[in-house]
Amino acid sequence: MLAKASPPKAKSQPWLPSLEWLKRYDRQNLGSDLMAGLIVAVMLVPQAMAYAMLAGLPPVIGLYASTLPLIVYALFGSSRQLAVGPVAIVSLLTLSGVSTLAEPGSASFIAYAALLALMVGLMQFVLGMIKAGFITNFLSHAVISGFTSAAALIIGISQLKHLLGIRLESGENVFSVLLATARQLGETNPITLIIGIISIAILVFFKRIKSRFPAPLLVVILSSLAVYLFKLNEQGVGIVGTVPSGFPAFNLPSFSFAGIEALLPIALTISFVSFMESFAVARSIASKEKYKVEANKELVGLGLANVAGSLFSAYPVTGGFSRSAVNYQAGAKTPLASIVTAILVTLTLLFFTPLFYYLPKAVLAAIIMVAVYGLIDVEEPRHLFSIKPIDGWTLILTFAATLILGIDTGILVGAAFSLLVFIWRSAYPHTAELGYLEGEKVFRNLRRYPEAKRYSNALIARIDASLYFANMAFLETRLTNALADRENLKYIILDFSAVNDMDAVALETLENRMDELAKLGIETHLVNVKGPVRDLLLRARWFEKYGDKIRHLSLEHALKTCNLGGL
């Protein structure tokens, strides 16, 4: 006798996602991965230095953040093409949060930035381990779009001091920075401005004509040579200066409870915003390549990348739009491309940092300004206003709050407003009075189908939301208005097909209302009650009290029970 075959076991997911692609690595992909890793490294080196400067850190910290974090994410992340490293938004958030505790560029500032990376990493890792990636969905697209556009403007304006070659203190908001800049325009260094404008022109030209061309590296080389040959640094052109060589030493970030408490709000903001930016681009590329990225694995991968970076003097990193796009377009097939990028950046740290001595800060400012220009989305507000105006206003409010109040406060204002909108919508759910279309034999909203049959002594209403304490007053008002409009009303039939849940307050309120209507000679019937709601009614002993009045499986059945013919 043949033994009965046992069912196949579900395939378990490895704790180290890289095991899958390493075991099945196709050598034919090696050339593509090597080329993509090289192209991204060429792009990343000047960008990383520029973003570190934006974060108020020495440029070399950007290179530190572009080594080990990339390798760790390649081993633990689920995206094959996501390029992790310093990005503009996170750099600005880092500056905003850490500058309240220390002077930008100081040793204390560097230490707090590493602590911030550790906090962000631990938050993301824990969220991924408890499979709580869904909570990032509470930041609406409108909030993120408004915040990103405003932050891009703030970033661009913050670089004016480097582009013009003037000394400028950081202002409280973008308007104070613009005013201070206008007052010091007379102190502009013309050579610095010319270098910056030419750099912007070259970057924009290649971005439009040939986006894969390493234009940032080109402007870095040309400008450094110009400064060296013509000794422009002696004529007031600001340069990067000495960039320490060598890989950073292991260093556990020092911390205090006061520092953690002060950094907690910005750490939470970076955790959510950076993950949403990263996951959006990872999911977009994955959909084109027909594979799946998992939110919780991405949180674990990014979290471990930030923890690893914090141990080697880095600051928070995430997946970037532009570099990931270049990585994908350059032919990256697996995370090996990111490992190649990290190795090349490490070699730069070990052997080539002296080459950046004469690099003008205006060029790094130009790289930042061109990079963030694409983050300003002009079309999205028009799109949202044409579809759902309240979402458009959410975007505008977040945008304005970020510009006026600052990036950390701005996103909180946007998130709070979107939450209030959600509460308002749930407190005033859509309800529809239904009528019967005899030709099609269906029930439809009387407002949209005024020709539908309306029953003079019966109100048929559909509630398109779950019922809880906050929206029961609205429902009661609708029923009261219906009583005022119908003098001979005998039946109220509530279609519960869209009611997925009820809380205890809603149950009690509806029960009291049904009892009050019964005293007036009006019967209340429930139709299409879903299983989870039926279970609640059963525990509340409604079936014993109301019997078949709340058991109707269709509106037709309820009408027949009420002796309302004509179907």
Q: What kind of architecture, by CATH, is found in domain 431-561?
A: 2-Layer Sandwich (3.30)
Helices (H), 99-173: 107-129, 141-158, 160-164
Q: What's the CA gap between 220 and 243, in Å, rounded?
A: 14
pLDDT number for residue 15 = 66
CA distances from 312 to 48, 65, 253, 336 (A): 15, 8, 9, 22
Strand 523-527's sheet: what is its strand order?
Answer: 442-445, 431-437, 458-463, 491-495, 523-527
Mean of the per-residue pLDDT values of the chain = 89
Q: Give kind and range of the element (H or E) at residue 433.
A: strand 431-437
Closest CA to 418 of 134, 150, 133, 137: 137
pLDDT number for residue 566 = 55
Quick check: helix, strand or coil at residue 525?
Answer: strand
Tokens of 251: 């260093």
Q: Give kind and range of the element (H or E) at residue 431.
A: strand 431-437
Quick check: helix, strand or coil at residue 527?
Answer: strand
Q: What's the CA gap between 461 and 497, in Å, rounded?
A: 11
Instruction: Answer for the pair 180, 171: CB distance below 8 angstroms, yes or no.
Output: yes
Closest CA to 197 of 368, 366, 359, 358: 366
Go through 269-289 and write b for each residue having 16 or more CB atoms within 10 A of its CB, e for each that does not: bbbbbbbbbbbebbbebbeee
Q: What's the CA gap between 411 and 136, in Å, rounded?
A: 13
pLDDT number for residue 484 = 80
pLDDT number for residue 192 = 96
Length of the chain in terms of residues written: 567
Q: What's the CA gap between 73 and 78, in Å, rounded?
A: 9
Instruction: Answer for the pair 534, 551: CB distance below 8 angstroms, yes or no.
Output: no
Q: Give kind and range of the element (H or E) at residue 493.
A: strand 491-495
Domain ranges of the chain: 26-419, 431-561
CA distances from 29 to 32, 73, 75, 174, 205 (A): 5, 19, 17, 46, 31
Tokens of 268: 């939470």
Instruction: Answer for the pair 65, 319: CB distance below 8 angstroms, yes or no.
Output: no
Q: What's the CA gap between 145 and 123, in Å, rounded?
A: 23
**Helix and strand counts by DSSP (H, E) for the chain:** 24, 7
Q: What's the CA gap between 315 and 112, in Å, rounded?
A: 9
The CB-based long-range contact list for 157-162 (8 Å cut-off, 24+ gap) reads 157/181, 158/54, 158/92, 159/54, 159/365, 159/366, 159/368, 159/369, 160/365, 162/53, 162/192, 162/196, 162/238, 162/361, 162/362, 162/364, 162/365
Instruction: Answer for the pair 39, 31: CB distance below 8 angstroms, yes or no.
Output: no
CA distances from 352 to 63, 89, 244 (A): 12, 28, 10
Quick check: helix, strand or coil at residue 363?
Answer: helix
In which residue ranges of the chain is pLDDT below 50? 1-12
Q: What's the CA gap between 230 and 360, in Å, rounded?
A: 13
Phi, psi dihedrals of residue 255, rounded to the nearest 5°: -145, 160
Helices (H), 247-388: 257-289, 295-310, 321-329, 336-347, 361-373, 379-387
pLDDT number for residue 306 = 98
